[in-house]
Structure 1
Amino acid sequence: MKLSSKALLALAISTITATAYAEPVSQDFVPTTLAGASAQSEAKGFIEDFTLGGTTRNWYAHESLYRGGSWKYQKHGQTLTDRNRTNWVQGTIINANSGFTQGTVGVKAEVALYNALVLDRSKRDIKGGSNRTLADSNGNAVDQWSKLGLANVQFRASNTTLTAGRQNFSTPIVDTIGNRALPSSFQGVSFNSEEFSNLSFQGGVFDRVSPRTEQSLSKFRSEYNSAGAKGVETDKVYTLGANYQPFKSLKTSFFGANVKDFWNQYYFGATHELGDSQQLALTTGFNYYKTVDEGKKLMGDIDNDTYSLSLGLAHQAHSLTFAYQAVNGNEYFDYLHETNGIYLANSLTSDFNGPNEKSFQIAYGLNMAEYGVPGLKFNIYSARGWGIDGTHYTGNRGVVGKGYDGIQVQDGEKHQEYGVGSSYAIQSGPLKATTVRATYVEHRGSEFQSDGSIKEFRLVTTIPFNIL
């Protein structure tokens, strides 16, 4: 991989600037030693540490397509079009968690019931639902539905835990996504080992995903593919990696995944911190993915290198972030559908992941805790992508509908995205930790850019609760 001149410039700026300020964040080397305590030795018991609680989330979004865009819906046998779409759902999770049994190997069980109540049931509003509102084959909203979101058994020895069943899981390649009324989860077996002071390992094998807005389990498929490839699915996803902190100021991650007959994907990420936010703090972040086709190549030929480089500056209540991202490949940078496996700086409403795309983002954040209002935050950002070029794509090997067929029309495409948001977290009282977040995003794409031109307002309120 070759870093662009802009990426090298950003690295140089961060290095030069760091030398101009004091470094209260320690840069000391962290030796790797055995963890000081065993989590299992502190187990309280299966019943003794039992908890019952959950969250309820009110999720509202209104979207408007413009520059000629429209959604379709059926009414009285006719196909109608409209440029607006509204989804409003109340998602509730009730989670029952036992404690670990005592002894050398502890056993624990977790069960969570997911329930969705559709508050806007208008066929015209939901436009078939997509991954926002569950709808039947006629486009009618399923008014209320439930499913078993989590159901697993966990075994723990020392600081290593093995989990079997339906579960949450989080790595840079396979990650639970929670940006709807209900989150996704995965069916399989995973482990998490924290036997060392600054080194941990994670891995898993999964064969099904429980989507955010579906009642049944599904096989994994890719997030980006041609229209004819939507039925292409994989039976197995294997992933393994490590998190390592060599210095107090530096955190790194190394992960790999085999998505059977789709691709092999490798990830490296690093975050480095300098300074003191009361004066000036600097955070540099780097994320890199390498993706190559595998097995039967159901998604076609793939050879893709994608990276992002970010520089964040913080002074008291204020933060300013610059991020550059580049896709080196004639296909999309792709990841698994119903996961958040894209740890790139410019993954926003658009992922800025088109073939050969370059993008740049600038963002500003304001934390009102510094002004006596803890929990209140504001942010604004602007991102631009350019140079999208799919004309050299041959990964479908001439088969229409295979892989990323269709991106060949993308020749010099570009787009831009603007967003503003505000959030507030209640600090105390019976509603402590309740969060309210409002966001407005506007995205504008050129003729063949895949995300189109859209405006969206979203209001999300999440309330945690404890029963036992």
Structure 2
Amino acid sequence: MKLSSKVLLAMAISSITATAYAEPASQEFVPTTLAGASAQSEAKGFIEDFSLGGSTRNWYSNEHLYRGGSFKYKEHGVTKTDRNRTNWVQGTIINASSGFTQGTVGVKAEVAVYNALVLDRSKRDIKGGSNRTLADSDGNAVDQWSKLGLANLQFRVSNTTLTAGRQNFSTPIVDTIGNRPLPSSFQGVSFNSAEFSNLSFQGGVFDRVSPRSEQSLSKFRSEYSQQGANSATTDKVYTLGANYQPFASLKTSVFGANVKDFWNQYYFGATHELGDSQQLALTTGFNYYKTVDEGKKLMGEIDNDTFSLSLGLAHQAHSLTFSYQQVNGNEYFDYLHETNGIYLANSLTSDFNGPNEKSFQVAYAINMAEYGVPGLKFNVYSARGWGIDGTHYTGNSNGAYAYTGIEKQDGEKHQEYGVGAAYAVQSGPLKATAIRATYVEHRGSANQFDGSIKEFRLVTTVPFNIL
């Protein structure tokens, strides 16, 4: 399968266009008008709308490296290696949130305390700590710890909200990530404006991130750059964008971000839905990122175009999705660490984002609600990546802290398989409790970034209300 980026881009655009014209009713243009109601006009009051609640998550993971891979840890000053790593942590969030005060300008306060209780404290099991279990400088697990995960003030006029402080934030470039016992959050100022019926705007400036498994705030760094003492960091991230729905069946997003002295990154995404899943429904998704170096070029020379195109078919309980993804650039498609700023179809355990990499995924899912078991779902997928070539990478030529070892990647390839089961409790005192089990196997060639690993996860999340 050797398709050029231009051909695939044309396929994405033609697919969206074709599906839009396939059903006249869904093609009806939606005019942009002022929102019908003002959220602030319905404010109930600072105390009157106060809420106290949260969630607790039991997060277990067992990993096994193979084909020569191993984890390292120190015991009595001696470095040891082992192929297995286990992390088991209970993460709990207690969130206190006021309502908005009444009047033209509403004011709201939000505070959330995050707590982690380590259930597996073996130094050998956790392998010195990672972004899963917090450990001290000697590699011993910190048995339990707490921090302010959220602490912000919000100001609202009509349907526009300004948030200042430590907060959750979600866009295709800067996005809170919650795939560990506790989520990340960001410190800064952001806004969300939904003054129009089908058009909204988001933006923000952030100087620190609160990592998933750390107590302190950190400067931003990239996901794939050299880690450790020489890791390049930045303390200014600016982002701005819009979400627009021109048709009932078509949603689009455009965002940009300036990561000071790292890169400028731009995103376009579109999702089109056609048909009725009781008969046959088609969902087309397209995601595109453009990344170029900026300022001091701490990440080296960057000129990267990355996109994914997905086609999903759904019939009653069943869905089948095909996804193609391609990186055009001699460096990784990179994004900010401790964020989920990668809205690409083949971002799985591996991100399939190597230099000049192409990848293809087939995924199947079944919703057992159609068979009388609401809340129960299963999924399975297979993904392959090939053509990874970092031999033309020149980003280190200016002495930047960039992508160590990328030059060795010459024709690398990898594959990933996964299966999952999830259940959400539908009623009773544990309503909305989510249980998910996944097994993933990834196998990479000699110099592929992710290596060869097998992982089993079992995650149970229980939401609760106190007031």
For residue 93 of structure 2, give the secondary structure of its aligned residue in structure 1.
strand
Closer, same or farther in 2 for the Cα pair 1:17/1:299, shift >3 Å? closer
Q: In the TM superposition, what are the counterparts of 1:2-401 in structure 2 within 5 Å?
A: 3=5, 5=7, 8=10, 23=23, 26-227=26-227, 230-397=230-397, 399=399
CA contact (8 A) 1:7 1:324 kept: no
- CA drift of 1:272 comes to 0.4
CA contact (8 A) 2:366 2:378 kept: yes
CA contact (8 A) 2:269 2:286 kept: yes
For residue 125 of structure 1, give the secondary structure of its aligned residue in structure 2.
helix
Query: Hey, what's the Cα distance between the residues in 2 that align with 1:98 and 1:220?
Result: 30
- CA drift of 1:274 comes to 0.5
Closer, same or farther in 2 for the Cα pair 1:11/1:207, shift >3 Å? closer
CA contact (8 A) 1:265 1:290 kept: yes
| Paired amino acid for 2:430 | L
- CA drift of 1:196 comes to 0.1
Percent of residue pairs identical: 85
For residue 407 of structure 2, give the secondary structure of its aligned residue in structure 1.
helix
| Paired amino acid for 1:245 | Q
| Paired amino acid for 1:223 | E
Q: TM-score, normalised by structure 2?
A: 0.97
Query: Hey, what's the Cα distance between the residues in 1 that align with 2:216 and 2:464?
Result: 26
Query: Hey, what's the Cα distance between the residues in 1 that align with 2:228 and 2:129?
Result: 21
Query: Hey, what's the Cα distance between the residues in 2 that align with 1:406 and 1:100?
Result: 51
Query: Hey, what's the Cα distance between the residues in 2 that align with 1:138 and 1:195?
Result: 52
Partner of 1:407: 406
- CA drift of 1:3 comes to 2.8
Query: Hey, what's the Cα distance between the residues in 2 that align with 1:227 and 1:120?
Result: 26
Closer, same or farther in 2 for the Cα pair 1:140/1:398, shift >3 Å? same
Query: Hey, what's the Cα distance between the residues in 2 that align with 1:181 and 1:228?
Result: 23
Closer, same or farther in 2 for the Cα pair 1:415/1:229, shift >3 Å? farther
Closer, same or farther in 2 for the Cα pair 1:228/1:465, shift >3 Å? closer
Instruction: List runs of 5+ in structure 2 lacking aligned partners.
Output: none
Query: Hey, what's the Cα distance between the residues in 2 that align with 1:89 and 1:24?
Result: 51
For residue 178 of structure 1, give the secondary structure of its aligned residue in structure 2.
coil
- CA drift of 1:27 comes to 2.4
Query: Hey, what's the Cα distance between the residues in 2 that align with 1:177 and 1:151?
Result: 17
Select between 66-75 and 224-233 the one with higher mean Cα deviation.
224-233
Partner of 1:424: 423
CA contact (8 A) 1:226 1:406 kept: no
| Paired amino acid for 1:127 | K
Partner of 1:446: 445
| Paired amino acid for 1:368 | M
| Paired amino acid for 2:446 | E
| Per-residue deviation, residues 352-393 of structure 1 (Å, max 9, x unmatched) | 000000000000000001111110000000000000000000
CA contact (8 A) 2:64 2:84 kept: yes
Instruction: List runs of 5+ in structure 1 lacking aligned partners.
Output: none
RMSD: 1.7
Query: Hey, what's the Cα distance between the residues in 1 that align with 2:252 and 2:24?
Result: 20
| Per-residue deviation, residues 155-188 of structure 1 (Å, max 9, x unmatched) | 0000000000000000000000000000000000
Query: Number of residues paired by the alignment?
Result: 465
- CA drift of 1:226 comes to 3.0
Closer, same or farther in 2 for the Cα pair 1:66/1:381, shift >3 Å? same
Partner of 2:461: 462
